[in-house]
Amino acid sequence: MSDPCAVRQFSGHRARLALDAALARKIDAQAHAARALWNLLHVWWQMTPREQRVAAHADAVIRQARKEIDWLGALPAQAAQGVLKTYLRAWQNCWDGRAGAPTFKSRGKSTMSVDIPQGGNLQVVRVHRRWGTVSIPKIGHVKFRWTRHLPVGRNANGGNRITGARLVKDALGWHITFRIQTLEPMPTPHAGPEVGIDLGITVPLFLSDGTAFRHDPWLSAKEQAKLLRLERTAARRKARRTPGRPRSRRLDITYGQIAGLRAKAKRRALDWQHKTTTATAERYSTVVVEQLNITNMVKSAKGPLKAPGRHVRQKSGLNRAISGEAWGRTMELLAYKTARRGGSLVKVPAAGTSRRCSTCGRTTAGSRESQAVFVCKNPDCGWSGNADHNASRNVLHLYRIGLVVIPAAGRAVARRARRVKPATAR
């Protein structure tokens, strides 16, 4: 009998596949067939009258196409149904205002992927400590890197099981992402302290208790030099290319090497974010961050032709640095990790947190002497310290006085909530 206090959790786990050249070509063929099927569905959608655009008609079209087109047969039937469901869901998201209308998927720009909707067909087995095997439809048993406990064998039941998977290819090769369902006890309220966090670039995460999380560059000096050399080589080869002709094989190889280095940097960044957010969620009960409109923050300063902007190159470098830190992903990780541990993530207005003194509460001109140092110019205060530390203390204070951001009707609205705890001296 299942625990009535247990809650159902859904998560994903990505693992690297160990493929030889023949198996990689087979999965490539399935991914290309899935992309082509999406494009065929899009053509059928545009040519079909509105009243006939239903799932049953689309399913019949897919079945007929798989019979008549040989290379579409490389895609398993369940994966073809997954393409249809994804396409219909994309239109539903468009109608609900969550995304734009679906478009064609190009061969060079779209992500190669194959969906495996049924988890029972995977037959996941752990071979030994580092490797496991998974059965992929029309491919066979494939080894994958075992880095996390999975609900398989005796650990699998109605509440804990793998519900499906997805094969995804990036610059580092093919990976499999398992969709996992677990039944876990209801989390008890977290007993840890509250903390405010200031998101930055020089110091990615600065906490109100003085803790600072830093990281080294995602690529070593040797890797950065190699990336710069490859980018220059790609620029030269692209300039020599005749307009209207396909890219040369050398240019494709160079683009692949560049993508490999960038994918390696992204993987290291994601690993650091997971470790940092996990440590924060385990220690603190309430994590308070600023409500940032990152999309507006990374807009270009180029401006129109009639009114060109200033310091465009400096702003471009700042935009790249902000995008490289992936603040939005950090907040998403903190949101679900704090919730699973009985805590919560709260957002407060960001206006003035970096210019206001966290001790006297006043905003005095000239207090922000530099990007890293804050010295309060109020004669009655004079507090000095790290600017990011000062901002994180202000973030926490806004929460303690009840000024939090509450989503309302698709927009964030700052409201002064009922004060639960009085503001205390920090």
Which sequence positions are flagged as catalytic?
A: 198, 290, 388
- DSSP for residue 305: S
Q: Report the alpha-carbon distance of residue 366 to residue 18 in Å, rounded.
A: 58
Q: Report the alpha-carbon distance of residue 215 to residue 251 in Å, rounded.
A: 33
Residue type, 22: A
Q: What are the residues whose beta carbons fall under 8 Å from the beta carbon of 341, sequence distance 6 or more?
A: 187, 190, 281, 282
Q: Report the alpha-carbon distance of residue 36 to residue 114 in Å, rounded.
A: 12
Q: Report the alpha-carbon distance of residue 269 to residue 413 in Å, rounded.
A: 31
Q: What are the residues whose beta carbons fall under 8 Å from the beta carbon of 11, sequence distance 6 or more?
A: 180, 182
- Contact between 334 and 277 (Cβ < 8 Å): yes
- Contact between 123 and 115 (Cβ < 8 Å): no
Hey, what's the torsion of the CAs at 391, 392, 398, 400, to 10 degrees?
-150
- Contact between 416 and 379 (Cβ < 8 Å): no
CA separation, residue 36 to residues 14, 27, 112, 339 (Å):
25, 14, 11, 40
Q: Which of 265, 35, 49 is nearest to 168 (CA)?
A: 35
- Strand pairing class (286-291; 344-349): parallel
What tokens were used for 338?
A: 């704090």
Where on the phi/psi map is residue 323: left (φ > 0), alpha (ψ -120 to 50), or beta? alpha
- The 10 Å Cβ neighbour count of residue 341 is 19
Sheet of strand 6-18: strand arrangement: 113-116, 161-170, 173-185, 6-18, 140-145, 131-136, 125-126
Please give the angle made by the CA atoms of 263, 266 and 14, to the nearest 5 degrees.
80
What tokens were used for 388?
A: 């990011």
